[in-house]
Homo-oligomer: A and B are copies of this chain.
Amino acid sequence: EVMAKSLGTAATAGVGVDQELIASVPSSNPTFVARNFTEAEISYCRSQPHPAASFAARWVGKEAVFKSLGVSSKGAAAAMKDIEILADESGVPQVALHGDAKAAADSKGISKVLVSLSHTDSTAIAFAQASV
């Protein structure tokens, strides 16, 4: 007998897009950085040629991932640190969810979130896709 449930479909649960002016992301504010980025993200962004652009790209990436989860925004209280975006060995950004973000994803059956980041000199943009 064939078990239908064993055939993994991969429906998209949500998508998210976000953009910000790099200058509007306060990446030189230590409180903002410590509240919203993990240690690994901070190390990565500071190692890049343009740390402000890297922080801004990750910031919009977190916002895009949050939107793709399809949950209510908690405004300033949203724990963006729970959405971690780190480059793998090929340089492709990978999403890891922790805490409340992971709980929200789990409650919706979301098993994977893909993200892509880009920036010009002035603007950072990100796209995310959450799949069950």
Q: Chain A: residues with CB nearer than 8 A to chain B?
A: 1-2, 4, 6-12, 14-21, 24, 63-64, 67-68, 70-73, 89-92, 114-121, 123, 125-129, 131
Query: Are B117's CB and A91's CB within 8 A?
Result: no
In the complex, which of the residues B6, B115, B121 contacts A15, with contact meaning CB atoms closer than 8 Å? B115
A15 to B20, CA, bound (A): 20
A128 CB to nearest chain B CB (Å) = 8
Query: Are B126's CB and A123's CB within 8 A?
Result: no
A103 CB to nearest chain B CB (Å) = 15
In the complex, which of the residues B16, B18, B21, B72 contacts A90, with contact meaning CB atoms closer than 8 Å? B72
A86 CB to nearest chain B CB (Å) = 14
Query: Are A7's CB and B10's CB within 8 A?
Result: no
A115 to B15, CA, bound (A): 6
Residue from A10, A68, A131 having most chain B Cβ neighbours under 10 A: A10
